[in-house]
Chains A and B, each alone.
Chain A
Amino acid sequence: MKKQRLLPLVAAGLMVFASVNALAGDVKVIANSSVKVDTISAAELKRVFLEERISLGDGTHVEPVLEKDGPVHEAFLQEYLGISEDDLHMYYRALVFTGRGFTPKVLGSDAEVVAYVARTRGAIGYTSSAASAEGVKTLTIGVPSRTAERKLITRVEPDYPGAPKRLNIGGTVRLRVSISANGNVANVELLGGNPILGESAAAAVKQWVYTAGRSRTIAEVSLLFDGQR
């Protein structure tokens, strides 16, 4: 009898656990356009959010931005900071009351985080993967040194397709770019933005050439189509 009562509880617990784990992979890290890097290591990201770093290796000033309690916040803490919400709250309190840091801005939704990051120099935040990244750049979490080896040496600008241009349709297109060891772009995947603009952007990016590296590298690229120009 006891077992029968326990089974639904265990099943519910497993479902909650599974959903949290599923969410962990669905967080993306976004940054203001003033942040020069496209890739940041998980360790560096943690230092930024723990305010151990106020600038990145290239000198870019950075400011962490939090999303309020919820699945995205929980997933970010679990995946990148490795501490509980309570511990993070206490950590920031200790920084504030010893004068060694500040409480980061906490925003209520993906849209608010994106809007704040877009207008705040150096801001780094996170949203669900499905959220729009209009006006911000998405950072790839990886090993920066490997990316640094892959400098872009040939860049082809995308054509602005006729119909969207006439109708003043613009926006940012985000692409995931797979760069082979010899520096050629092996594959391009559209992550976000207008599909017609995305097609044009992908065609251009496929012609890009990076410096050679030791192995295949993944990078995220954002291209802006300015509909007002």
Chain B
Amino acid sequence: MHRRSFGLVLACLCVGQVTLQAQDFSLFDRKVQIHGFASQGFVYTNTNNWLTMNTSQGSAAFTDFGFSVSTNVTDKLRVGAQVYDHNIGNLGEWHPILDWAYADYRFKPWLSFRGGKVMTVIGLYNDTQDFEFLNAFALLPQSVYPIDMHDANIAHEGGDLYGDIPLGRRSGTLSYTVYGGERRDSYYGGYPYALRETAAPVNLTSNGGPQYGADLRWNTPLRGLLAGISRVNQHDEGKGTFVPFWDPAAGKIPYWEHTKQYWLNQYYGRYSKGSLHLDSEYRRTYINVVDFNGTSTGHVDVRGWYVSGSYRVAKRLQLGSYYSHYTMTTHYGGILGMAFPPRVDMSLPENHIYDKVVSARIDLNRFWNVKLEGHFMDGYGDGPYPDGFYPGDNPAGFKPNTNALVVRTGLNF
């Protein structure tokens, strides 16, 4: 598997280098742009396996790449698409997804529309989380941007209204996005994987449903300071198969679950001045689900926040650090409630992950970077919400602390 990963990345790097000179061309008098990116990572942890990889032995099963093509059909109408593929441990498994594919029409600066499969705007980085080269860090803070939930959170099929509203010279600009559509989770995402890995395994073959939300961000009159808020409302219906743990003799039977409440709130701020970038975000996700064919209920309350800072100390060297704080409480009802007690004590390592991170990014040139990152994690938060640590990946049980070294190199053109 490692050889295959390296081979693919090497191929992407070669293709990238070749096409660096040929990313723009004209078709029917319209400029067409083709761009791509690829990254390869290596993760080593001293104790627990992390992010569905066999990291305690050192794992290079951390590869992703994507290609986009876009053009302006008219001055106001833009169309494009991007294919993304990744293999991160047991996530993705080389099954390509359409990251986005949409048409974007700009009526006015304050009112535009895009429709199709659209990347979902949540906070500072949800819609750009695939593009490691945009960040100082090899991994975004997992408390707010869990890599396991990438496929679920990245996009929706539907439409967005968006625009900028200038508030006057002394008040900055307000940017808004309002959207609605449908979210379809990948079978190879973190949530289906988590369900397959629980004590009561479920093979969730489809999951998703209507989604609507909004993002409002204020570019303040203070140069470099941005503040914003995002909200997502979601209704999920999942289907698959399972063996009832209360009646194993029944064998494999159809499974269903649906959410009664599923929402996400995110608050964020960013300050940039010269080579200094400071970010902070808080995300709360609340899920109330009826599962196991109506025999059980679950209330999951996930709260995460981080503070990060990075500084470009030299043209080719950027140093950064963040503190990422993740907690989760869970209440089960029905049959599941009889088997699993509530998890409310957030001081326990099974209910939190506190991650201290230091990072160095080296830009070999404008298109190629290497990142070295140290993670010092307290807790492993192995609840029903995907957060990087899975019992199935750690059959001997969890250790309370995990230190990780992440090396990641990325190329874009």
Give every chain A residue within 8 A of B78 (Cβ-Cβ): 99
Instruction: Kindly state the separation between the CA atoms of A84 and B119 in the bound complex, as whole angstroms.
Output: 27
B76 within 8 A of A: yes
- B interface residue count range (under 10 / 10 to 19 / 20 to 34 / 35 or more): 35 or more
Which of B37, B75, B76, B366 is in CB contact (< 8 Å) with A97? B37
Q: B118's closest neighbor in chain A, by CB?
A: A99
Q: A215 contacts the other chain (Cβ, under 8 Å)?
A: no
Give every chain A residue within 8 A of B82 (Cβ-Cβ): 97, 99
Give the complex CA separation of A100 and B100 in angstroms: 11
Q: Do residues A54 and B127 form an inter-chain contact, with CB atoms below 8 A?
A: no
A61 surroundings in chain B (CB, below 8 A)? 75
**Is the CB of B275 closer than 8 A to any CB of chain A?**
yes
Q: Chain B residues near A54 (CB, 8 Å)?
A: 75-76, 106
Assign chain A's interface to a size class.
20 to 34
Instruction: Fill in one digit per residue for B269-284: 1 if any A CB lies within 8 Å of its CB, else 0.
Output: 0001011000000000
What is the CA–CA distance of A69 and B75 in the complex, to the nearest angstrom? 28
Instruction: Give the docked Cα–Cα distance between A103 and B36 (Å).
Output: 13
CB of A200 to closest CB in B, whole Å: 37
Which residues of A sit under 8 angstroms from B66, Cβ to Cβ?
97
A82 at the interface (CB under 8 A from B): yes
A90 at the interface (CB under 8 A from B): yes
A94 at the interface (CB under 8 A from B): yes
What number of A-B contacts does a CB cutoff of 8 Å give?
A: 67
A55 contacts which chain B residues (CB < 8 A)? 75-76, 106
Question: DSSP majority for the B interface?
Answer: strand
| A93 touching B412, Cβ below 8 Å | yes
**Is A53 close to B, CB under 8 A?**
yes
**B241 contacts partner chain A, Cβ-Cβ < 8 Å:** no
Name the residue on B nearest A82 (C-beta): B223
Closest to A90 in B: B134
User: Does B268 touch A at the CB level, under 8 Å?
Assistant: no
Q: Which residues of B contact A90 (CB under 8 A)?
A: 133-134
**A52 CB contact (under 8 Å) in B128, B164, B223:** B164
Give the residue name and chain of the A residue nearest to B117 (CB): A99
B344 shortest CB reach to chain A, Å: 38
Knowing A97-B66, A99-B80 are in contact, say whether A87-B35 is a contact too (CB < 8 A).
Answer: no
Question: A86 is contacted by which of B68, B119, B312 (Cβ under 8 Å)?
Answer: B312
**8 Å CB interface, B40-94 against A:** 66, 68, 70, 72, 75-76, 78, 80-82
Query: A211 to chain B: closest CB distance in Å?
Result: 24
A96's partner among B68, B130, B366 (CB-CB below 8 A) is: B68
Q: Does B286 reach chain A (CB closer than 8 Å)?
A: no
Q: How far is the CA of A140 from the CA of B68 in the complex (A)?
A: 37
Q: Which 3 A-B pairs have the closest CB atoms?
A: A61-B75, A99-B80, A96-B35
Q: A61-B75, A97-B68, A98-B127 are in contact. List 4 more A-B contacts (CB 8 A).
A: A52-B109, A86-B312, A99-B100, A99-B119
Q: Which residues from chain A sit less than 8 Å from chain B, CB to CB? A: 43, 47, 52-55, 61, 82-84, 86-87, 89-90, 93-94, 96-100, 102-103, 122
